[in-house]
Amino acid sequence: MIRLSIPLRQALSRLSLPVLIAVAFGTMLLGKADALLAERARTALADALMPFYAAFAEPAHAVRDAIEELEQLFVMREENARLREENERLRRWQAAALSLEAENAMLRRQLSFVPERAPAYHTARVVADGGGVYARAVLLSIPPEMQVRRGQIALDERGFVGRVTEVGNRSARVLLATDMNSRIPVTLEGSRARAMMVGTNGARPRLQHWAEGSRPAEGERIVTSAEGVAFPAGLPIGVVRWTESGTAEVELFARLDRLDVVRLFDFGLGGILPPEAVARPEPRGRR
């Protein structure tokens, strides 16, 4: 340590503040003149402080996690109450479901009801529409290993599309519900009344031949009827729409104007089939 006389030391300590302020002004000007210098100094400082920050971040994270956990605990209490209430409600529903199930079982026993087995279906791609003798029909591409029969029922993902009328080796033609030749026996879902759905070549087939006194209501759902053994009961078709001129029409669920894939269901029904002779091309033998 350099020993200095007391007056000199006092003078130095008195001088240090003004000198430092002057140096600070110099630093300001230097920082202004060379902006890169300050950036470099900041980067160096950040590099030097990095281990400190890393060490400090650990307990900070721990504290933050603890706080979050605490918050979650509070939320949990609320959620618990909500879940308990919901559980209560669901328990009531469960009781209702169980009683309905029991009732259902009892009714089935009394009716000796035989449940239908789930129908098998294949999916086929629509490759062309129109053509053939029908105005409203689509052609399906059928892989050779797929078994397709006439009378099978085509549905898209929403509802009834039509019936298979012609089958070739690699293709099948589906007569759409909108074709003029299409006649589908239907049931009005609400009133269980029977009717016929008749195609008109338009977008909406007409509803005809319902029984006296069971006028179809606007918006009523239409499903297939098992009458005539051509269709299983209960396939969704569409809803009733009355036109301004007073005819009942069916707005189909299926989007017949943009079919790309249909499901062909084989319900094993062999009711009324279209006549064999209608423009059916002879299946060519496989080469």
Question: Residue 242: phi, psi to the nearest 5?
Answer: -90, 130
CA distances from 199 to 93, 135, 162, 232 (A): 44, 11, 11, 19
- Please report whether residue 67 would count as binding another protein according to CB under 8 A: no
Instruction: Choose, by CB under 8 A, the member of 4, 60, 229, 272 that binds another protein.
Output: 60
Token pair listed for 50: 């990095």
CB of 25 to another protein, least distance (A): 6
Question: Which residues within the stretch 127-146 sit at the binding site for another protein (CB under 8 A)?
Answer: none
Of 41 and 81, the one with the shorter C-beta distance to another protein is 41
Among 49, 70, 76, 102, binds another protein (CB under 8 A): 49
Residue 13 sits in the site that holds another protein (CB under 8 A): yes
> 16 or 87: whose CB is closer to another protein?
16
CA distances from 224 to 115, 124, 167, 275 (A): 18, 22, 23, 22
40 binds another protein (CB under 8 A): no
Using CB under 8 A as the binding rule, whether residue 45 contacts another protein is answered as yes
Q: Which residues pair with 220 in a beta bridge?
A: none
**Which residues contact residue 161 at a Cβ distance below 8 angstroms, ignoring those fewer than 6 apart?**
154, 155, 174, 176, 177, 254, 256, 259, 262
* 189 and 154 Cβ atoms separated by less than 8 Å: no
Which one of residues 4, 11, 28, 203 is an interface residue with another protein (CB under 8 A)? 28
Binding window for another protein (CB under 8 A); candidates: 30-38, 102-110, 124-132, 275-283: 30-38
65 contacts another protein (rule: CB under 8 A): no
Distance CA 233, CA 223 (A): 7
Is residue 113 close enough to count as binding another protein by CB under 8 A?
no
3-class SS at 255? coil
Least distance in angstroms from the C-beta of 125 to another protein: 58
Indicate whether 1 belongs to the interface with another protein (CB under 8 A): no
Q: What is the DSSP letter of 75?
A: H
Q: How many CB atoms lie within 10 A of CB 163?
A: 22
Among 10, 16, 87, 94, binds another protein (CB under 8 A): 16
Q: Which stretch binds another protein (CB under 8 A): 45-53, 74-82, 129-137, 186-194?
A: 45-53
Cα separation, 85 vs 80, whole angstroms: 9
Residues near another protein (CB under 8 A)? 13, 16-17, 20-21, 23-32, 37-38, 41-42, 45, 49, 52-53, 56-57, 60, 64
